[in-house]
Structure 1
Amino acid sequence: MRFLSFSLLFPLFLVLTACGGENASGPAPALAPEALREHSTLFRKGVEEVTDGVYVAIGYGLANSIMLEGDDGIVIVDTMSTQEEGQEVLAAFREITDKPVKALIYTHNHADHVFGARAFAAPGEVPVYAHATTQDKINRVVNEIRPIITLRSMRMFGTYLDGSERINDGIGPHLGVNEDSNLFSLTPDHTFEDELDLNIAGLHLRLIHAPGETDDQLFVWLPEKKVVLSGDNIYQAFPNLYTIRGTAYRDVAQWARSLDKIRALEPEYLVPSHTRPLIGAQRIHTTLTHYRDAIQYVHDQTLRYMNLGLTPDQIVEKVQLPPHLASDPWLQEFYGKVSWSVRSIFSGYLGWFDGNSSTLQPRYDSEQAQRMADLAGGTEALMSAAQKALKNQDAQWALSLTDHLQVLTQGDQAVTDLRARALRQLAEQESNPNARNYYFTEARELEQGLKPGRTKTSPEFLATLPIENFLGAMPSLLKAEETLEVNEALGFRFRDTGKTFTLRIRQGIALIESGLDDDSVATLDTSEITWKSIAAGSRSAALALAGGDLNIDGDKLDALRILGYFEKIE
């Protein structure tokens, strides 16, 4: 299916589709470290009563959903990835109580916590609580890097993998999104900056801003019950101080300080939004202490070696958790990894340049590859070395050599097959689900030509997203090389809201400006929902034009030519 060039909708790591198992000629069932298989026991499915009136649904999707039962109603904290998951969780909660939903709380903006909200309530039916920045971050799922984030997220969560390849997703059994899923978050209408005290259904709740895995992260404190709902700042795996799907720098020093806020409360019950709850004040104190210490240790030691002039590759060799932290069951590398965290911290403070002059202006891939082949004695010798490495179970070296071979022998099936085998060998040895899933998925891309899919978008949900996001995504898709001599403008008029904008192309850049400029070659006249549907790929512009939902005032050919300057997303 083809989409208009400005189609940039949806939660990045949710724009995925499910895939069936291997065919008869495919690879044999994959191997997996036993520790990874055992880790799956954390996600046994069901609703667990943590203490009186506090219930957590585990194993229904990547994240947990938490029900707080009050005198005359319930509060839902985090709402799963999809409406289908939310409906299943609500049905399980309904086996406990039929009290009405009185409020929803989002611990943060990640899609697996907000996009099932419609299952629990209709828009405007109940108050939705979140940090003041959460809705803006949800809106930004319509953003400039959607295609690459989609691809990398698909690899990381292993959406296309079969049951022998994807064992679990580290913090949950799987990301349960496919082409038939319905995603619908409800807009937060009760927000705060630092702290918010609430009394809902007789429950005393305190929402506390605690930036960590996300800047908008909060935790929920029930002082009378000594229960803390910690969101994603702690779960039973080494934290994702950096995620390989791609993210802006996560302030890990701030993350550790947020965990100190929780420690200071001395909770007796800890209920994360992933993995299982922890009970007992001393166990919780020790776990929180080890968790925040591990984060600070990696941060501080990375800075130490940065200041001694070491590069990221050198620092990765030196920074490893001390034994008392490395042995903690809550710090096993089933989600984040210390090595990834080191590289992210280095980049977060100093940027891409590692300080080694040889990497300041490296040779282009094509030249580097040819020199590597010359050094090896030719392309055939380089291929032979890669084959030998793979045979000797040195899959990482084999994979690195295929980087050069791919450049030198584009389209060579033998190189493609070798690279896929190296990826599979690395995957079978990997106990970190993110890395394992990434390796296996890239192997399937090489073997099967795998491509990302998309999810359905209902008009009702599209209506909740601001039109500015859809238009604001367009400049990063401009085919600049085709517009270096272009100076033209195209207007947008949205008849239902009265909003107007001008898309201006100026010698290789595109700008979105408020209002209609007089020099526009034409103006697109439509409704916001029509344009959102076109941009989301759920409706064609041709049909909208034919039906009168989209009109072009002015030169139609010029208008279509200007839209043609933007990349089409497959």
Structure 2
Amino acid sequence: MTDQERRSDDRLKVAELVKSGEGQAAAIERAPGIWESRGVGNSYLVTTPQGDVLVNAGTLADARRGRELFAQVSSHPVRYIVLTQSHANQYGGLEVYKTSENTVIAHRTYAEDRANAEALSAHYRRGSRRIFGTITGSTEAMIPTREVPPDLLIDDQGHAFDLGGRRFEIIWTPGGETRSAVIVWLPQEKIAIVGNLFGPLFGNHPNLNTLRGDKPRSALQFINSVMTLRALGPELVLTGHEAISGVDNIRREISRIIDSVQWVHDRTVEGMNAGVDLRTLMREIQTPLELTLTEEYGKVAWNVRAIWHEYTGWFDPARGTTELYGVPPSSVAPAIAELAGGADRLVERARIFVAEEKPLEALHMLDVALAAEPGSALGRLVKREALELLLRQTGGKNLWERMSIAAELRELDAPAT
């Protein structure tokens, strides 16, 4: 691992949470009989005298570790496994826990989610490795060696069962990270196990359209799903990475999340109706101080863009007619470089932008220069300067942004093609 890769996730809470299972020696009891194994996605074992319920299997590597941790606290068989969504950090370790004696439960759209993910597996895994490869480890540690299909697919009205004196209610929350997202509600204890309904961080802006490549998520569905959780009045919320406690604290923070995302949604729609272009809205929409959420995982500007595309699709009139065709801007890069007196002239101008602390303008210029002359050593050097300046200016506070810039820096070391 290079120094850049080691630095790329320093002091980011998400990265710390994802890695927090490494070296975990004992399961954590979050409430009486509710045990946590940490990892890329946490797993929870709810114990009862008649058998246990596992909420999420984790990745394959997480499950292998988690099974040993859970064995220290319960000798009962796992009777049910509930998957809160269809990402590998929920289903990857199913084969470790699955037996003929237990029932795997997921929402009816889980099968479609999994089919779509497999149809685009090379694309999705390439994007995930690019962004998260240095955090989550190898693909082999994430995904199963064999597919374990659910035994029971529940409908949109949800599902409930009792086991060993405990009541379990499974509630569909399609505004989570996948359409098949559900939460597990324990009404007697007022505990909600919500997986990644909020993403990996509670109190953060949701990531409505990930940089790794994934189906976009709906802002209003997210809001409605979080409102469903709020209506339950939980006293403890167990997410895919965190434990949030206190009924008043939870209600207050959930309400702030709802109001903040609604505010961004409404300002975006207002701007669209007023004829404001997308990039202007991305720059100008900022939440009021009382609705400010952290932006380590999602960002306001990116959610503005996601909401715009959710309602109006991929065509942006501000980018002109060429958006309708498959001829990219890079096709005219050689001609522009020729008119400028060569790609090096463009690179020199980009370096001036860097000196003026305008890294994005520099990167726009370098896109042209390096499309015209991909092997330009000077161009690559100045691009590195621009990216490092951009990272300093943004403060490296957003995981996706920081990891994406780190990936571009790594790619500069690859031979030009």
TM-score, L = length of structure 2: 0.87
Q: Report how far residue 38 of structure 1 moved.
A: 9.5
Alignment match, 1:383: 347
Aligned with residue 117 of structure 1, among 68, 71, 94:
94
Q: What letter is aligned with 1:413?
A: A
Task: Tell me how many residue pairs correspond in the alignment.
Answer: 401
2:187 matches 1:223: yes
Aligned with residue 153 of structure 2, among 191, 195, 206:
191
The answer for unaligned runs of 5 or more in structure 2 is none
2:30 matches 1:50: yes
Q: Report how far residue 154 of structure 1 moved.
A: 1.7
When residues 48 and 449 of structure 1 are mapped into structure 2, their CA distance, relative to the original with a 3 A threshold, is farther
Alignment match, 1:565: none
Alignment match, 1:128: 104
Q: What letter is aligned with 1:131?
A: H
Q: Report how far residue 263 of structure 1 moved.
A: 0.7
Give CA deviations for 1:432-484 in whole Å, capped at 9, x if unaligned.
Answer: 1111111112221230459xxxxxxxxxxxxxxxxxxxxxxxxxxxxxxxxxx
Q: Secondary structure at the match of 1:55?
A: strand
Alignment match, 2:369: 405
Q: Would you say the 8 A contact 2:178–2:217 is kept in 1?
A: yes
Alignment match, 2:381: 417
Identity of aligned residues (%): 26
Alignment match, 1:137: 113
Q: Report how far residue 93 of structure 1 moved.
A: 1.7
Aligned with residue 317 of structure 2, among 355, 359, 371:
355
The answer for unaligned runs of 5 or more in structure 1 is 1-20, 162-173, 451-570
When residues 181 and 348 of structure 1 are mapped into structure 2, their CA distance, relative to the original with a 3 A threshold, is closer
Aligned with residue 251 of structure 2, among 285, 289, 298:
285
Q: Report how far residue 388 of structure 1 moved.
A: 2.7
Give CA deviations for 1:528-564 in whole Å, capped at 9, x if unaligned.
Answer: xxxxxxxxxxxxxxxxxxxxxxxxxxxxxxxxxxxxx
Q: What letter is aligned with 1:303?
A: V
Structure 2 CA distance for aligned equivalents of residues 182 and 272 of structure 1:
21
When residues 188 and 351 of structure 1 are mapped into structure 2, their CA distance, relative to the original with a 3 A threshold, is same
Q: Secondary structure at the match of 2:322?
A: coil
Q: Secondary structure at the match of 1:438?
A: helix
Structure in which a larger fraction of residues adopt helix: 2
Q: Report how far residue 151 of structure 1 moved.
A: 2.6
Q: Secondary structure at the match of 1:91?
A: helix
Alignment match, 1:108: 85
Q: Secondary structure at the match of 1:141?
A: helix
Q: Report how far residue 349 of structure 1 moved.
A: 0.7
Q: What letter is aligned with 2:227?
A: D
Structure 1 CA distance for aligned equivalents of residues 141 and 160 of structure 2:
39
Alignment match, 1:549: none
Alignment match, 2:404: 438
Alignment match, 2:75: 98
Q: Report how far residue 240 of structure 1 moved.
A: 1.1
Give CA deviations for 1:106-136 in whole Å, capped at 9, x if unaligned.
Answer: 01111111011111223x3410011011122
When residues 151 and 225 of structure 1 are mapped into structure 2, their CA distance, relative to the original with a 3 A threshold, is same
2:218 matches 1:251: yes
Q: Would you say the 8 A contact 1:74–1:102 is kept in 2?
A: yes
Aligned with residue 313 of structure 1, among 279, 284, 300:
279
When residues 44 and 146 of structure 1 are mapped into structure 2, their CA distance, relative to the original with a 3 A threshold, is closer
Alignment match, 1:78: 56
Q: Secondary structure at the match of 1:140?
A: helix
Structure 1 CA distance for aligned equivalents of residues 140 and 46 of structure 2:
32
Q: Secondary structure at the match of 1:289?
A: helix
Q: What letter is aligned with 2:238?
A: V
2:372 matches 1:395: no
Alignment match, 1:341: 303
Structure 1 CA distance for aligned equivalents of residues 126 and 230 of structure 2:
38
Alignment match, 1:204: 167
Q: Secondary structure at the match of 1:310?
A: coil
Structure 1 CA distance for aligned equivalents of residues 286 and 360 of structure 2:
20
TM-score, L = length of structure 1: 0.65
Q: Report how far residue 302 of structure 1 moved.
A: 0.8
Q: Report how far residue 177 of structure 1 moved.
A: 3.2
When residues 278 and 43 of structure 1 are mapped into structure 2, their CA distance, relative to the original with a 3 A threshold, is farther
Q: Report how far residue 244 of structure 1 moved.
A: 1.1
Q: What letter is aligned with 1:410?
A: P
Q: Secondary structure at the match of 2:167?
A: strand
Larger radius of gyration: 1
When residues 177 and 70 of structure 1 are mapped into structure 2, their CA distance, relative to the original with a 3 A threshold, is farther
Pairwise CA RMSD: 2.7
